[in-house]
A and B are shown apart, each in its own frame.
Chain A
Amino acid sequence: MSRRRIRATAVSVWLIALLVALVATIQIRSEVEVQRSLVGIDPTSLAFLIDDLHRANEALDAEKADLKSKRTQLQSGQSGAADQVLSTEADRLRAVEGLVPVHGPGVVVEVDASGLTVLDLEDALNNLSSGGAEAIDVNNNRVVMGAAISPSGSDVAINGAVITPPWTISVIGDPTRLGIVAGLMMQQLRADRRVRGASYRVESDIVIRSVISEKPFVYAVPS
């Protein structure tokens, strides 16, 4: 083989090796970029995540402001300040836990259907909770996370009480956010063959009279 041919072969090998190295580098770089970011999350989901985190951080800021106000009140040392803080806290927690009747703005969702299951109700309640529900009642049964929702024949029971269709779900919370969630739920429900009718209305004052009975802990011990 002539020297020129040998040189040409060497150059070809060198170029190909360079190309391989180049492609491998780009490949590895792309993989690292993807890995460094949140793997498997598409940009749309990331945008939703940002929206959720903004809302969450705003709620946390409101909680911090409330707690700082309580701390200031307690530090004031004024007569009855502690009792006032504790009474207000007790009232709020009783409402959170569904132990007292409550009222406020929100939405009322009505669903007439046959064959709806525990999961259908749990999904509906979770959708409304995600939309900012602060108190929920289903056919005069107060519902909070932790309520026992179980099948009962062809129906669903909440804490042992059977609820038969139509379901009337009364929800107190931000009526604008709840209205949007209820609107999206209607689209899904109306596409469901089991559903005979589904509607919702926004109300300025919903009264929820149902309450949950206090249950003492049997197994859990506060640390």
Chain B
Amino acid sequence: MSPRQLAGIAVLALVAMATGFVLAGQVKAQLLTPSNQVARYQALVVSVQELEATNSESRREIAGLRGEIDSLEADAAARSAATQDLRAKVDDLRAHAGLVAMHGPGIEVDLRNGDAGSAATGTAYLVNFEDVQDVVNLLFADGAEGVAVNGRRVTPLTAFSGSAGQVIIDQGPPLASPIKVVAVGDRNRMFAALDDPSALASIRAREVEFNLHLTFFGSPDLSLPAYDSSLQIPHVTPAN
């Protein structure tokens, strides 16, 4: 057999091997999604994206309306001392409800998905709403006066939900890792609470098992945005 023939066979063998590897990888990864499944999936994704755009626009509109109302109230307060007193009380209530942007000393906590490659189980871990809820509750229990998660302000009515690595806070869009929790308040107390090995037991267990990343640092001045969604309580009536 001539060297040329040998080279031809070698090339053929290499190409065949490469084909085999690719086919095997394809079958293993099962990424050959049937086109109709992809289409259905894409339709769902488009729905989510459209609803998110509406959501974002509505929240922008709400922030604008609150700004306009604030100006109109300020005009009215300038004309009456009684209105000015009432407005001062409402401003304080709004600040406590999270409707006013604020700043001050605090803590920033970062939560990131676990890394599948180095995890003991080889499974990636996605930060979920319960992880975020645990961090926020710990911060409030230990000196936070205001908290925001990825720029979404937490209010007295805030609820966390979500699935598959998505974190939904109130009427906001789904958030995903990396999650940044910013808390303004007693910085030293919050830092000590986060540093306590007995606190956040489930998150610490996931740090070990799934390489979930939890880091935090204090800062002399952090900012929190105002809440930009609904605080309606249609079923509640003040009791006498």
Contacts and interface: CB of A to CB of B under 8 A. Distances in A.
A and B found bound together: yes
Contact of B157 (A1, A60, A145): A145
Interface string A34-58: 1011101111011111101111110
Interface stretch (A87-95, A161-169, A190-198): A87-95
B97 A96 contact: yes
B155 A145 contact: yes
Interface string B37-69: 010111011011001101100110110011011
B166 A41 contact: yes
Contacts of B95: 217, 220, 222
A23 B19 CA distance: 8
A45 to B, nearest CB: 4
A27 B79 CA distance: 69
B223 A223 contact: yes
A40 B16 CA distance: 33
Interface in A138-167: 144-150
Given A54-B51, A60-B58, A82 B2 contact: no
Given A57-B54, A85-B73, A95 B233 contact: yes
A56 B65 contact: no
Main secondary structure, interface of A, reads: helix
Interface in B120-172: 126, 130, 133-134, 136-137, 140-142, 144-147, 154-161, 163-166, 168, 170-172
Contacts, number: 307
Contacts of A63: 62, 229-232
B18 interface: yes
A71 B58 contact: no
B45 A219 contact: no
A61 B58 contact: yes
Interface residues of B, number: 111
B97 A93 contact: yes
Given A60-B230, A63-B62, A27 B235 contact: no
A104 interface: yes
Given A50-B51, A56-B172, A66 B164 contact: no
A9 B12 contact: yes
Interface centre among B45, B157, B185, B231 (most CB of A within 10 A): B157
Interface of B: 2, 4-5, 8, 11-12, 15-16, 18-19, 22-23, 25-26, 31-33, 38, 40-42, 44-45, 47-48, 51-52, 54-55, 58-59, 61-62, 65-66, 68-69, 72-73, 76-77, 80, 82-83, 86-87, 89-91, 93-97, 100-106, 126, 130, 133-134, 136-137, 140-142, 144-147, 154-161, 163-166, 168, 170-174, 184-187, 202, 223-224, 229-240
Interface of A: 1, 6, 9, 12-13, 16-17, 19-20, 23-24, 26-27, 30-31, 33-34, 36-38, 40-43, 45-50, 52-57, 59-64, 66-68, 70-71, 74-75, 81-83, 85-87, 89-98, 100-106, 119, 122-123, 126, 129-130, 133-135, 144-150, 172-175, 207-209, 214-215, 217-223
Given A57-B58, A144-B156, 12 more contacts: A41-B166, A53-B51, A68-B65, A90-B89, A97-B97, A100-B239, A106-B235, A130-B160, A149-B137, A219-B185, A219-B186, A220-B146
21 contacts: A9-B8, A13-B12, A23-B23, A33-B42, A43-B40, A50-B44, A63-B62, A64-B61, A66-B232, A82-B76, A83-B76, A93-B97, A96-B155, A129-B158, A134-B233, A145-B154, A148-B141, A174-B235, A219-B104, A220-B102, A223-B102
